[in-house]
Structure 1
Amino acid sequence: MKFKLILAVSLLLGLGGAVRAQDTQAAPAPQPATPAPQYTEPQLVEEFGWFMAKRVGIAELGFDKQQIDALVKGIVAAAEGKDTPYELEKIGPAMDEFMQRKQTAYMSKLKQQGEAETATFFAEVKKKPGVVVLPSGLVYEIEQQGEGPTPKPTDTVKVHYTGKLVNGTTFDSSVQRGEPVEFQLDQVIPGWTEGLQKISKGGKIKLYIPPQLGYGDEGRPQIPPASTLVFDVELLEIKPAAAAAATEAPAPAPAK
């Protein structure tokens, strides 16, 4: 069923991520040898159980004590090789509905938290000197205007950016990756489309983007529902729509 599939996929992704992280870490400088920690098998299994539950997000589902006991009972039965005590085909739809309710309640809680954070955050940001508040709800602060024309929505722009949540957590950064990104301005979130039209090539702007101009109530990986986003953006290049189309156009066929 869906929950079982989520559990399996999450576990595999988590283990794969852990292996990849180990593969990409730089070799540490030689250190004096220290004794490796010794763990008992029960400790290792306990950690494995914690890892599975953490990756699946059990805590986020808000199970009460009775539900946690039932969950453990089911895990024990599966670990001992026992069959399900219920007919899976019959209980499956009810289980999916129950888990969906749990997930919906969790998302609703995150949305309420996001809305409260947004209200508090913008109340303070709007007090800052130099910020501009637009009717759409976008708030921005130009740090460097740049030179030349500003981009149109159909233009292609090349930028460097860093995106953060209001708590300061960085969720994405082309600067950290060391590679700018290029896109047509009207193909991104509305806060970017509107905000980047305020600066020219070489300009820098800080965008305070409310949820309705960002990723809304759905959120994205690393971005909770109803999150306000803070972007520091540097506009490196503007390609007018006609020039960008010409660059991407295929070469003409040879004359017959």
Structure 2
Amino acid sequence: MKRIFLVACLSGIAAASYAQTKTAAKKPVAKKTTTVSKTTTVVALKSTLDSTSYAFGTSIGAGLKTTGLSTLNYEVLLKGLKDAFTGGKVVLDQQQAQQCINEALAKASAVKNKAEIEANRIKYAPVMKEGQEFLEQNKKRAGVQTTASGLQYEVLTAGTGVKPAATDSVLVHYKGTLLNGKQFDNSYDRGEPISFPLNRVIPGWTEGVQLMPAGSKYKFYIPYNLAYGERGAGADIPPYSTLIFEVELLKVNGK
């Protein structure tokens, strides 16, 4: 199905320039089409070929729609599809077609992402406000320190080992919760620590763990912009969530 989707994209968008240089002929009214109203038609599927063709059309259309594309020149799309399928002469070569696809999908994705972020901003405004209010009060507690980025932390156990750099790999145990106490991850429950490059995690971790000497255990209060941002992470971490982590730095790998 991915291959079908790609061929449809290549063919449909590749033929876009065709529409600018040649006026498409009027589409004849098919004898197999029954008019229901002035604006709606129902296609009569009278054979297996009809059903198969229509099924491929809906599958391709559904796939294209998920990319964020809002509309296409459907007559030119069909022309491109037919040219590619029957071996006809295509207007754009493969490189030109791929460039058209990349540009169209990038633009559609940007529009889609912007719309999703705006929708999340409205929907999860209470989550963002809760986090801001929590951090404002939390920074006043004794023992809580705040960095220039807004990251907050407190030392639960002070270690004496080496501190990691952002480029180091570290071995840690940790527990992560939302402000309401709901746990979304816990290496202790899995029974083994985790090792990872420090520059491959959320910014709050990259910054915070660098403050820790090996052997330390810190508690981090991470604002959404240093965590998973406007999108959140999966079903357990909503967009704009302030997160709380208890992190135990067992060692800096290789040091």
Q: Provide the TM-score with structure 2 as the length reference.
A: 0.54
Do the aligned residues in 1 keep the contact of 2:176 with 2:245 (CA within 8 Å)?
Answer: yes
Shift of 1:130: 0.6
Instruction: Tell me the residue number matched to 1:151.
Output: 164
Q: Whole-Å Cα distance in 1 between the matches of residues 194 and 210 of structure 2?
A: 17
Q: Whole-Å Cα distance in 1 between the matches of residues 253 and 185 of structure 2?
A: 24
C-alpha distance after superposition, 1:165-197 (max 9, x if no partner):
111110111011111100111111110111111
Q: Whole-Å Cα distance in 2 between the matches of residues 191 and 129 of structure 1?
A: 21
Percent sequence identity over aligned pairs:
41
Q: 1:163 to 1:110 in 2, by over 3 A?
A: farther
- Give the letter for the 2:205 counterpart: W
Whether 1:236 and 2:230 are equivalent positions in the alignment is no
Instruction: Tell me the residue number matched to 1:225.
Output: 239
Alignment equivalent of 1:207, drawn from 198, 220, 229: 220
What are the equivalent positions in structure 2 for 1:92-241 lying under 5 Å apart?
107-221=120-234, 222-240=236-254
Unaligned residue ranges in structure 1 (runs of 5+): 1-86, 244-256
C-alpha distance after superposition, 1:37-68 (max 9, x if no partner):
xxxxxxxxxxxxxxxxxxxxxxxxxxxxxxxx
Q: 1:189 to 1:104 in 2, by over 3 A?
A: closer
Q: 1:113 to 1:147 in 2, by over 3 A?
A: same
Q: Whole-Å Cα distance in 2 between the matches of residues 102 and 192 of structure 1?
A: 28
Unaligned residue ranges in structure 2 (runs of 5+): 1-56, 71-111
- Give the letter for the 2:223 counterpart: P
Do the aligned residues in 2 keep the contact of 1:110 with 1:226 (CA within 8 Å)?
Answer: no
- Give the letter for the 2:247 counterpart: V
Q: Whole-Å Cα distance in 2 between the matches of residues 166 and 197 of structure 1?
A: 24
Q: Look up the SS of the partner of 2:163 in the other structure.
A: coil
Q: 1:146 to 1:211 in 2, by over 3 A?
A: same
Q: Look up the SS of the partner of 1:171 in the other structure.
A: strand
**Which is higher, the Rg of structure 1 or of structure 2?**
2
Q: 1:227 to 1:178 in 2, by over 3 A?
A: same
Larger helix proportion of the pair = 1
- Give the letter for the 1:150 counterpart: K
Q: Whole-Å Cα distance in 1 between the matches of residues 115 and 205 of structure 2?
A: 33
Q: Look up the SS of the partner of 1:198 in the other structure.
A: coil
Q: 1:103 to 1:157 in 2, by over 3 A?
A: closer
Do the aligned residues in 1 keep the contact of 2:117 with 2:231 (CA within 8 Å)?
Answer: no
Query: Once superposed, what is the RMSD of the aligned Cα atoms?
Result: 3.0
